[in-house]
Every structure is written in structure tokens, then in C-alpha cells.
Amino acid sequence: MSEPPYANRPFRVGVQLQPQHAEYADMRRAVSAAEEVGVDVIFTWDHFFPLGGDPNGKHFECWTMLAAWAEQTERVELSALVSCNSYRNADLLADMARTVDHISGGRLILGIGAGWFERDYQEYGYDFGTPGSRIAALGNSLPRIRARFDRLNPPPMRPIPILVGGGGERKTLRLAAEYADIWHGFGSVDTLSRKNGILDDWCVKIGRDPGEIERSTSARSGPEKLGEQLVAIGERLITVGADGTSGFDLALTRDWVQFRDEHNADKS
């Protein structure tokens, strides 16, 4: 099997510090620990209530926390996995992203998706709509975000990478082909491989090099099981989750960092 067009990218590791079931002081310590471990990206998520455990447990908001992390950290990139398009005006979100980008010294990734968690919508007064209406809204927002970046003064410190999350083959992957610097997908190795191919096809249809889009996914098990399989299909950013119920345990993250270092050393 020939290598995918994005196979020459370095392998990277992220950790998603899920802002649930913990005091903020615990999260702050976890951010420092994750940067010390050597991850490339620290993610949060964009929800208003826990997604696991006690549904009314402790929880914190995404973008105010990203701003704090931008001040706290020195090296890692920062992002939401992913920010919900429905929760903020597109131009406002672009301005928020630009501001956090400056606070961090140019380390922000704008992760964005169409949204799905109905409780967030209901309790905060957003129109939940349908999957089709939410993805259509995302399609309307992405060019607005890009245009607003160009009009802001001062502009972002770098062209802010856009990460698009989601796996819809007719619409989401079409948007990723046009706007994403990183595409984050979900599913088995076979599913990811197939969707990578569909994203490649969309890139060809719109005249974009598929190699421009970094392929990203999440892992719940270690690299001894998945590492080489994910590398073979072109995945280059692997993110591990941790939250307060585990005390933000970074053991699995450390395993992936070691795999990253060994893989990238072999390629150098």
C-alpha cells in the first residue's frame, strides 16, 4: 500500500484535559504536568456540563480557560476539541481566537465543529435545530471566521490553524477539504482510513493538495496496540483524554509521547 500524501509529517501527541469533576486548581496543575511531559497540544472541550459521570458535576467553560492556559504555558499549542459553532457569533469567535493567539504568543489552534450535545443547547438557550442545520451553520461560519482574521487589528500572530472535527462524508469532510489545516476524525483504524480517502477525494475535487491537511484522532489505548496502524494510514496527531475522575492521569499520554519520540527519531 502506498503512503498517503501526508505521511511525511512528524508524529505529534495531544492531551485533552476535560474540564469536568475537578477544581480549577487541579486543572491548572494538570496543564503544567502535561507541558512538562512533552505533549505538542493541550486541548479542552467546549461544553457546559460533564459528558461522563455525574451530569451535574463540576465543570468549567472553554474559552476563558484557554486564555488562562495561554498565560500559564510557554511551549505547547492550545485548542478546543472542538469549539461548538453554535455557541458564539462567528466574527466574535474569530476575535476571541485572535486574542488568545496573542496571549499565547502564537500557539492557538482553532478547533471547531457543528455541535451535538443537546443539553448545552437547551439549558443555555440555543436553537438545537437538526444535524443538517447545524452543519449548514458551520459552513456559513468558516468563511466569516477567515475573513474576520484578515480584518482584525492587530492580526493573529500567525495564520491560525483551523481544526475541523467530525466525520460526515458529504458535508463535514467537504468543509474540511476547503478550510481545515487539521481534520479530527473518530472511529476504528479502518473507518479512519476510509474517511481519509474520502477527504483526499474532496481535496482533489476542489483543487487542494491533501497533504496540506494533518490527520488527527483520539486514542483510548496505548501505542503498542494502535501506534503503527495509525501511522500507516496517515494519522499524525493522536490525542489522549484525561479528567478529574482519574486525577488527570497522564500515564497513557506518556506512552504516546515515547512512541512519538521513537517514531520521529527513526524518520530523521
pLDDT tens digits, 38-66:
999 999 999 999 999 999 999 999 999 99
Q: Residue 268's pLDDT is what?
A: 74
| Residues near 268 by beta carbon (within 8 Å), at least 6 away in sequence | none
CA 12 – CA 90 distance, rounded (Å): 29
Q: Residue 7's pLDDT is what?
A: 75
| Residues near 47 by beta carbon (within 8 Å), at least 6 away in sequence | 59, 62, 84, 117, 120
Strands (E), 18-151: 41-44, 77-80, 83-84, 110-113
CA 247 – CA 145 distance, rounded (Å): 36
Q: Which parts of the chain have pLDDT scores under 50?
A: none
> How many CB atoms neighbour CB 25 within 10 A?
8
C-alpha cell at 55: 451530569
Q: Residue 31's pLDDT is what?
A: 98
Q: Residue 2's pLDDT is what?
A: 63
CA 185 – CA 215 distance, rounded (Å): 8
This prediction has a pTM of 0.96
